[in-house]
Structure 1
Amino acid sequence: MKLTKARAAVTAALLAATLAGCGVAGAVTGASVDDSSTTTTATATPGASVEAVLAANQESHAEADDGTYDASSAVTVTLSGSSATASGDGVSVKDSTVTITAPGTYVLTGTLAGQVVVDSSVEGKVQLVLDDAHVTSSTGPAVSVTAADEVVVVLADGSTNTLEDGSGYGDGEGEPNAALYSAADLTIAGTGSLTVTGNSNDGIGSQDGLVILSGTVTVTAVDDAVRGKDYVRVEGGILTATAGGDALKSDNAEEGDRGYVVVLGGTVKLTAGDDGIQAATDAAIGGGTTTITAEGDGIHGDVSATVGGGTTTVTKSSEGLEGKVVTVSGGSIDITSSDDAVNATDGSSSGGGMGGGGNSSQDGVSVTISGGTLVVDAEGDGLDSNGSMSITGGTIVVSGPTASGNGALDTNGGLTITGGTLLAAGSSGMAEAPSTDSEQGWVSATFDSGYAEGTVVQVVQDGKVIASFTASKTFSSVVFSSSAITSGETYEIWVDGTPSGTAVGGLTLGGSTDGGSKLGTVTADVHTGGQGGPGH
């Protein structure tokens, strides 16, 4: 067994939260323009809060829209089989197509085997109130907004609504390609329910911004479930999205203040054949309850991935939380991944895989953790940065890989700790510890023989158990850091003791050594070696 200890800690004060009590004030993400060309690129600042990320991006079109409408001035459109009738102006009906041609409020009720089209060249908002409306198209979108200033789909109180499109359409550039399609900014509000089935491509899609404020929305699509080219914002309601491709997606990579996806509230359940959340720029979660099961990445932002609030569970993913700049400033996050759980990379091939910074550090790439609770279970690296990594607060528990080709901690630019609590367990072949210039102390232990799932490993000082970790899988290295580790003092590593207290990812900050055995001791800043006991 080898035991090492770094220098003492002076815990850094956490910066004030700005969103849901868990953002970090500071510089923001935003757009920068290369003077030598017309290309606009998005940039991100390490440690930026969710609020800061939003402030640097395009403002939502639906900031003041709650989906209310004046029923007395609304036009009622009664859907009936392959035709429809309207109680007022602004509506034309031809064969099985209902076309809305002017701003206003239109209440749709009944069943239509056809299509609803919004084609309004007049400035002003179009409100489509779905009040037990069921539209099925065999040739294209069920609802297609081809021209409008802005469209709001309101789900009437107590209503149940369905939209389903045909298949085999929308493959051309710029063509309508979703069961609920909009060429304009689109908002979904109200307290009713909406079920959308996308048989050709996407379920709900907007060529501009897309906001879900409320309602119960269920989307199933062969490709992306919910896509807004400029942005997707989920602010409330219950959203269940099942996608053959990405579940929530924004793909405007040409404009640096767009292409973002943010979840600020509501209950969101995402199942994806590719990524759960995919953003061309920034992916952020600031509130609500989000559950993701993805064959690809759980949360992916090409520029940044930020979690600052809410409860997020990634039950399955390749890489759980990934971006060039990754920030965790609050909330509760639980990630299970078949590769890296948290990964910061610029996408180049110069970065990954070498524990302890074996490859060159990528400029502008970072992981910053300043608050919240982060629990990860990774088959690849637990926390991985192809650049730098900084921990200033929060509680982080890493159940890392069992194979030696990866590590519970893996950075190319080094890990510094100035606050928070970190427990990282995993294989020892690529094991990495924090930098020795970290302000907060840490203890690192590697074992010649692995210890099995269920083993309790403890950090003890003068008979007091500082930390107890119950392993969820085999491990042969452990790193622990907290404000309880003091420079110059001696610590012991024990196994098979008894934990006590509230557990977070198997970690408790207490317990007893009853029934356990001591493996060795270490003094701050002194590296000692020894042989571990037999594998358990």
Structure 2
Amino acid sequence: MKKIQKHKIAIALLSMAVVLGACSNAAATESGETATTAETVSYDSGAAAVDPASLSMADLVTFDDDDTAAEWSADGSVSIELSGTSAAISGSGAAAADGSVTITEAGTYVLSGTLNDGQIVVDAGEEDIVRLVLNGVSLTDQDNAPIYVKGADKTVITLADGTENTVTDGTEYTLEDGEDEPNAAIFSKDDLTINGTGSLTVKANYNDGIASNDDLKIVSGKIQVQSADDGMVGRDLLAVQDGEITIDAGGDGMKATNDEEADKGVIAIAAGTFDVVAENDAIQAETTLLVDGGDYNLVTGGGSANAEPHAESGFMGKGGMGGGRPMPGGQTDASGTEAGAADAASGTAPAVPAEPPATPAADDDTADASAAADAAATTSTADGSASAKGLKAGGAIAVNDGTFTIDSADDAVNGNANVTISGGKLTIASGEDAVHADATLTIAAGTIDITASYEGLEGAEIAMAGGDVHVTASDDGVNASGSDTTMTNEAQDTAEAAEDAAVDATADATEDATEDTAADGAAGQRPGGFGGASNGKLTISGGYLYVDADGDGLDVNGSASMSGGTVIVNGPTNSGNGSLDYDGTFEVSGGVLISAGSSGMAQAPSTDSGQSSIAMTYPETQATGTIVRLEDASGNAIATFAPSKDYSMIVISSPELKQGESYTLYSGGTSTGTAKDGLYTDGEYSGGTKVVGFELSSATTWLNESGVTEAQTGRGFGGGGRRQP
């Protein structure tokens, strides 16, 4: 199914909803824009262009000696022994008053004991480096930050070996007039580093857990944060060299927030273990996010099971938005009916009514829905409340290594620019896109197992050169959307919230209106071409890609090419979507491609491909697991494949197919070979029934049970596939 670009401002989506209420295909133009006066606004992320493939830790962060040194001795330190509301200080540079301790000079300060209701305040010179050694300390402040760095060049918190340390604040802060800081249990206006081998538990009842207005660096240690809002915040930089980090956050888990400077707002992680449960995003960088390694268990928004539901019929229904099959005069047939599927399989078109079906006019409920969604579109989401993503960046994302388990109510991986995965293992359950890039999504290596998603892989352009990827999607498996719109995180969240509100409101308002027209196939169709881009690009040059999609398997708002690798698609069972769906061309010059699914939107590789393909449509639906066997004239297997769903069409492209040679297609039977995702290797095949024998006559040969036939016409929303010449 072609997907409305989330990054169009909500008013454009609402215009579509109103048009849909009237079911007027005439409201769409050939260019894919609706006939409406509403503006479509694009947003710039503000981030510098970054090639994530070239990113390294050294480019983004330096851990200097002050950051990494965790050794200390009593001889060279100031001892601060806390006891309830008092402190015994041995040495200079610190003073106690009114239950708090203020440090005014550079040096190492060793804290032990308990502070019941007071602060450790660092107020040193702008070139001073202050080290706080937490040597078995419990700090509580009921109305402010227990550790507050007002001024210093850098403050280093060292967790003494073998110690347990706790920092707890209250639910309300008493701040000076006009001030909104501190706003975290451990708060620094300047650079803050945490190192050592001890443990730190932060209970942030007011707002954030650990925050720095400059750089926040975690070098080592066992850190647990429970926060009312964000867990860890580094405004300019949040960098982790190693450590064991556990966060339970009412807002975002880990974030960098500077959206005003292109080289700030960065998160860079080299290693460590991360267990993050966040109501909003787990790890969110305003510009660039780099992950070189580590073990991650990320849960956002209650997990994928808690995602906003997607309407499955009518306005947003499968076989609906994503389209009907184009018919003469701009009409569409029923996208999901048995009759439509049978007609598509036989190569005939159902009769087209002389007039479009009558549709009810938009009523007051539709107007109310529009007003409600308008209100949602203007709601500020600057705190990220509308976003519950796993890995998120306002710019580029690079994942070079690491082991990830992500269960997200929203996208699991989302970058507003390029996203590159060049290693690691990702296991993903997502309520929205599993991996999304506003610009180019590149998969060069690694293992990605998407067990649940709305859409699996999405990017304006998608390039797969390696890796092992399994996709399960309730809509499109792979979607090269062609969108060139980028947004800040805040703008994206606002647009997504507006989209969700519009979908929910419009679905309710148009439920009765679409009920009758759905029966005759007029409901559920997007206004022709709305939101569709035509500059999408899918390039597959290597790797292994398996797709199980209820919508389109490979969906390209533009053109695709394949020169290597293996691609297996188990596509939709409804005829409003197809296992292959592209607008321009799909040129195959290498690799193995097998796609099975419904035949109502039938497409196959382009006839000017360098490698040959066959596309077989069946007169009746074939049952799940029914083997398709393609043999050459000598009985050698070209492919032996058992689709995991019912199917009425299959496409096979292989380097073994040669024009001018004869082949036979069989159905059913058994194989003693080894099956991976339904594709058998080795073994013996027996018991099948011959379906058709044929000579491969062109680069793309269309077949039915009678032999070679003409290409089927299949086309998705927004331009979709076209009959190959």
TM-score by length of 1: 0.74
**Counterpart pick for 1:135 among 167, 172, 181:** 167
Question: Given residue 146 of structure 1, which amino acid in structure 2 is its aligned partner?
Answer: S
- Please state if 1:243 is matched with 2:270: no
Larger radius of gyration: 2
- Name which of structure 1's ranges 178-187 and 480-489 shifts more when overlaid on structure 2: 480-489
Distance in 2 between residues matched to 1:449 and 1:82, nearest whole Å: 82
Question: Given residue 224 of structure 2, which amino acid in structure 1 is its aligned partner?
Answer: T
Check whether the contact 1:330–1:370 (CA below 8 A) recurs between aligned residues: no
**Counterpart pick for 1:161 among 180, 200, 218:** 200
- Please state if 1:145 is matched with 2:183: no
In structure 2, the partner of 1:70 is 71
In structure 2, the partner of 1:331 is 446
In structure 2, the partner of 1:12 is none
Question: Given residue 184 of structure 1, which amino acid in structure 2 is its aligned partner?
Answer: D
Distance in 2 between residues matched to 1:354 and 1:450, nearest whole Å: 24
Report the secondary structure of 1:434's partner residue. coil
Distance in 1 between residues matched to 2:90 and 2:184, nearest whole Å: 21
Q: Residues 86 and 494 of structure 1: is their aligned pair in 2 closer, same or farther, counting only changes over 3 Å? A: farther
- Please state if 1:400 is matched with 2:422: no
Report the secondary structure of 2:552's partner residue. coil
Distance in 1 between residues matched to 2:240 and 2:661, nearest whole Å: 54
Question: Given residue 277 of structure 2, which amino acid in structure 1 is its aligned partner?
Answer: T
| Structure 1 residue 61 displacement after superposition | 1.8
Check whether the contact 2:616–2:703 (CA below 8 A) recurs between aligned residues: no
Question: Given residue 103 of structure 1, which amino acid in structure 2 is its aligned partner?
Answer: I
- Please state if 1:126 is matched with 2:155: yes
Check whether the contact 2:571–2:595 (CA below 8 A) recurs between aligned residues: yes
Distance in 2 between residues matched to 1:512 and 1:81, nearest whole Å: 80
- Name which of structure 1's ranges 300-309 and 480-489 shifts more when overlaid on structure 2: 480-489
In structure 2, the partner of 1:464 is 636
Check whether the contact 2:146–2:169 (CA below 8 A) recurs between aligned residues: no
Q: Residues 234 and 419 of structure 1: is their aligned pair in 2 closer, same or farther, counting only changes over 3 Å? A: farther
**Counterpart pick for 2:292 among 264, 270, 275:** 264
Deviations 1:305-360 (A, max 9, x none): 222211122133322222232211211122244432122232779xxx999x9789
Q: Residues 262 and 464 of structure 1: is their aligned pair in 2 closer, same or farther, counting only changes over 3 Å? A: farther
Question: Given residue 196 of structure 1, which amino acid in structure 2 is its aligned partner?
Answer: V
In structure 1, the partner of 2:209 is 179
| Structure 1 residue 120 displacement after superposition | 5.4
In structure 2, the partner of 1:311 is 425
Distance in 2 between residues matched to 1:452 and 1:84, nearest whole Å: 78
User: Which structure's residues are more often strand, by fraction?
Assistant: 1
In structure 1, the partner of 2:615 is 444
In structure 2, the partner of 1:212 is 240
Q: Residues 394 and 217 of structure 1: is their aligned pair in 2 closer, same or farther, counting only changes over 3 Å? A: farther
Check whether the contact 2:671–2:680 (CA below 8 A) recurs between aligned residues: no
Check whether the contact 1:214–1:237 (CA below 8 A) recurs between aligned residues: yes
Question: Given residue 96 of structure 1, which amino acid in structure 2 is its aligned partner?
Answer: G
Distance in 2 between residues matched to 1:487 and 1:86, nearest whole Å: 89
Distance in 2 between residues matched to 1:82 and 1:418, nearest whole Å: 76
Q: Residues 263 and 404 of structure 1: is their aligned pair in 2 closer, same or farther, counting only changes over 3 Å? A: farther
Distance in 2 between residues matched to 1:521 and 1:90, nearest whole Å: 91
- Please state if 1:341 is matched with 2:456: yes
**Counterpart pick for 1:98 among 120, 124, 128:** 120
Question: Given residue 527 of structure 1, which amino acid in structure 2 is its aligned partner?
Answer: T
Q: What are the equivalent positions in structure 2 for 1:376-455 lying under 5 Å apart?
A: 376-455=547-626
Q: Residues 196 and 418 of structure 1: is their aligned pair in 2 closer, same or farther, counting only changes over 3 Å? A: farther
Distance in 2 between residues matched to 1:304 and 1:211, nearest whole Å: 20
| Structure 1 residue 486 displacement after superposition | 3.8
Question: Given residue 315 of structure 1, which amino acid in structure 2 is its aligned partner?
Answer: A
Q: Residues 224 and 84 of structure 1: is their aligned pair in 2 closer, same or farther, counting only changes over 3 Å? A: farther
**Counterpart pick for 2:133 among 98, 107, 118:** 107
- Please state if 1:321 is matched with 2:435: yes
Question: Given residue 378 of structure 1, which amino acid in structure 2 is its aligned partner?
Answer: A
Check whether the contact 1:314–1:336 (CA below 8 A) recurs between aligned residues: yes
Check whether the contact 2:619–2:648 (CA below 8 A) recurs between aligned residues: yes
Distance in 1 between residues matched to 2:703 and 2:192, nearest whole Å: 68
Q: Residues 74 and 295 of structure 1: is their aligned pair in 2 closer, same or farther, counting only changes over 3 Å? A: farther
Deviations 1:141-174 (A, max 9, x none): 55433321x32222x33x333212114x5xxxxx
Deviations 1:423-453 (A, max 9, x none): 3333333343333333344343343433444
Q: Residues 512 and 213 of structure 1: is their aligned pair in 2 closer, same or farther, counting only changes over 3 Å? A: farther
Q: What are the equivalent positions in structure 2 for 1:353-364 lying under 5 Å apart?
A: 362=533
Question: Given residue 59 of structure 2, which amino acid in structure 1 is its aligned partner?
Answer: E
Report the secondary structure of 1:202's partner residue. coil
In structure 1, the partner of 2:671 is 498
- Please state if 1:226 is matched with 2:260: no
Question: Given residue 165 of structure 2, which amino acid in structure 1 is its aligned partner?
Answer: A
Question: Given residue 409 of structure 1, which amino acid in structure 2 is its aligned partner?
Answer: L
In structure 2, the partner of 1:373 is 544
Distance in 2 between residues matched to 1:392 and 1:451, nearest whole Å: 30
Deviations 1:371-420 (A, max 9, x none): 44333433333333334434344443333333333333333343333444
In structure 2, the partner of 1:59 is 59
Report the secondary structure of 1:380's partner residue. coil
Report the secondary structure of 2:59's partner residue. coil
Check whether the contact 1:380–1:400 (CA below 8 A) recurs between aligned residues: yes
Distance in 2 between residues matched to 1:447 and 1:88, nearest whole Å: 88
Q: Residues 424 and 411 of structure 1: is their aligned pair in 2 closer, same or farther, counting only changes over 3 Å? A: same
- Please state if 1:296 is matched with 2:298: no
In structure 1, the partner of 2:701 is 527
Q: Residues 301 and 98 of structure 1: is their aligned pair in 2 closer, same or farther, counting only changes over 3 Å? A: same
Distance in 1 between residues matched to 2:525 and 2:48, nearest whole Å: 28
Distance in 1 between residues matched to 2:525 and 2:681, nearest whole Å: 31
Check whether the contact 2:61–2:268 (CA below 8 A) recurs between aligned residues: no
| Structure 1 residue 370 displacement after superposition | 3.6
In structure 1, the partner of 2:395 is 281
| Structure 1 residue 460 displacement after superposition | 3.3
Question: Given residue 442 of structure 1, which amino acid in structure 2 is its aligned partner?
Answer: S
In structure 2, the partner of 1:28 is none
| Structure 1 residue 508 displacement after superposition | 4.1
| Structure 1 residue 265 displacement after superposition | 1.0
Distance in 1 between residues matched to 2:241 and 2:58, nearest whole Å: 17
Check whether the contact 1:374–1:397 (CA below 8 A) recurs between aligned residues: yes
Q: Residues 233 and 41 of structure 1: is their aligned pair in 2 closer, same or farther, counting only changes over 3 Å? A: closer
Distance in 2 between residues matched to 1:189 and 1:513, nearest whole Å: 58
Q: Residues 194 and 39 of structure 1: is their aligned pair in 2 closer, same or farther, counting only changes over 3 Å? A: closer
Distance in 2 between residues matched to 1:479 and 1:333, nearest whole Å: 24
Percent identity of equivalent pairs:
31
Check whether the contact 1:75–1:88 (CA below 8 A) recurs between aligned residues: yes
Report the secondary structure of 1:51's partner residue. helix
| Structure 1 residue 188 displacement after superposition | 1.6
User: Which structure's residues are more often helix, by fraction?
Assistant: 2
Deviations 1:269-323 (A, max 9, x none): 2212222222212233221111221222221112222222111221333222222
